[in-house]
Amino acid sequence: MPNIEWRIYEAGYCTHAECATRWGAPLAAARFPALTFFLDHPQQGNILFDTGYSEHFLHATKHLPERLYRTVTPVQLKESGSLRSQLSRAGVSSGDIKHIVLSHFHGDHVGGLLDFPEASLICSRAAWEDLRLRTRLGSLRIGLLPKLLPDNFVERVSWIEDAPLRNLPPALIEFGYGHDIFGDASMLAVSLPGHAAGQYGLFFEDRNGQFIFLIADAAWSSQAIREGVPPPSLVTAWLGNTKIYRQTLQRLHRLAITSPEIRILPSHCSEWRLR
Ligand SMILES: [Zn+2]
C-alpha cells in the first residue's frame, strides 16, 4: 500500500439554518465549513479532493441570477482564504497539484478549480452529462455554477466510471464496488448517490494504517451519520433524490456502527476541528 499522507483544509464556509441539514436540528444558522482534502501519493504526487470556495466563486456569484446562491447560503472566505492561498503558505504551489478528484459539481466543491490550471481532473461522467444538459437557471437552481469549470475541462478530465472496478473491503460491501482511479488500489472512488448526480466519495488507507472515507455531501455532519437522521425531504428532493439519499445515509449509519475504525468525513462537518 502506498504511504498516503493527507491534510484537511477549510476553504471558506457558509451559514444556513441547521435544520435544513438534519431533521429536528435547530432553526438557528450554523457554520458549514467547505472542507477540502490534500493527499500526497508517493507515485501520483499531490492530489486534491474538491476545492471549496475561492475568489472565483465570489466572482461567479456577484450578479443576479447567480447572486441568489450566496443569498441563500452566505459565504465567508476571509478567515481561512482560498485553498490555493493556504497551500501556498504551506509551500505547495498551484503547479504542484497533479490531480483533482471532484466529488460532484456543486459550487462549494468546484469553487477553487480555476486556481489549479495544470492539474488533471477526475470526476464522474454521469455528473458531467447531467450538468451539460442543464440551462443556466436549471443549473443554478440546484447549486451548479458551470462558470467555475475551466474551458479545457473535457481535455483534462478522466472519468471515474472508466477506472477499473475493485472489490471494496468487506465492511463496505453495501456500497458495491470501488473504481480504482490510479490503478494501484490506493484510492477507490465509491458511488454515493442521492445528493447530486454522479456523486462519488473516496476511500483509502493512510500511512498510519487508518482507513479514511471521504463522503462529500452524502451527509452534512458526522452527527447525521451517527444518528442516521436525514435532512428534511424538501431539501433532498430539491437537490437530488430523497429515497436514494436516505438509502446512502443509512448505509453510512450502519458502517459507522459496525466499523468505528473507519474515519468517515463529510465535507461540511465542523467536528473535524475537534479531532
Ligand atoms: Zn453538494
| CATH number of the CATH domain containing 266 | 3.60.15.10
Q: Looking at residues 144-155, what average pLDDT do you find?
A: 95
What residue has cell string 437552481? 141
Rounded to an integer, what distance in angstroms lies between the CA atom of residue 153 and that of residue 156?
5
Cα of 249 vs centre of ligand 1, distance in Å, is 14
Which pLDDT score, from 0 to 100, does residue 235 have?
Answer: 86
- DSSP character string of 145-207: -GGGS-TTHHHHEEEGGGSPEEEPPGGGGGG-EEEETTSSSSEEEEE-TTSSTT-EEEEEE-T
Cα of 240 vs centre of ligand 1, distance in Å, is 10
Q: What is the pLDDT of residues 24-36, one digit of tens each?
A: 877 888 899 999 9
Q: Is the per-residue pLDDT at 274 higher than 70?
A: no
Cα of 115 vs centre of ligand 1, distance in Å, is 20
Q: Is the per-residue pLDDT at 23 higher than 90?
A: no
Cα of 267 vs centre of ligand 1, distance in Å, is 9
Q: Residue 238: which pLDDT band, with cuts at 50, 70 and 90?
A: confident
Cα of 150 vs centre of ligand 1, distance in Å, is 19
Cα of 217 vs centre of ligand 1, distance in Å, is 5
Cα of 269 vs centre of ligand 1, distance in Å, is 13
Residue 141 DSSP one-character state: H
Cα of 101 vs centre of ligand 1, distance in Å, is 14
Cα of 1 vs centre of ligand 1, distance in Å, is 30
Nearest residue to 262 via CA among 225, 218, 210: 210
Cell of 154: 473535457
Cell of 151: 474551458
Cα of 40 vs centre of ligand 1, distance in Å, is 24
Domain span at residue 100 reads: 5-274
* Tally of domains within the chain: 1
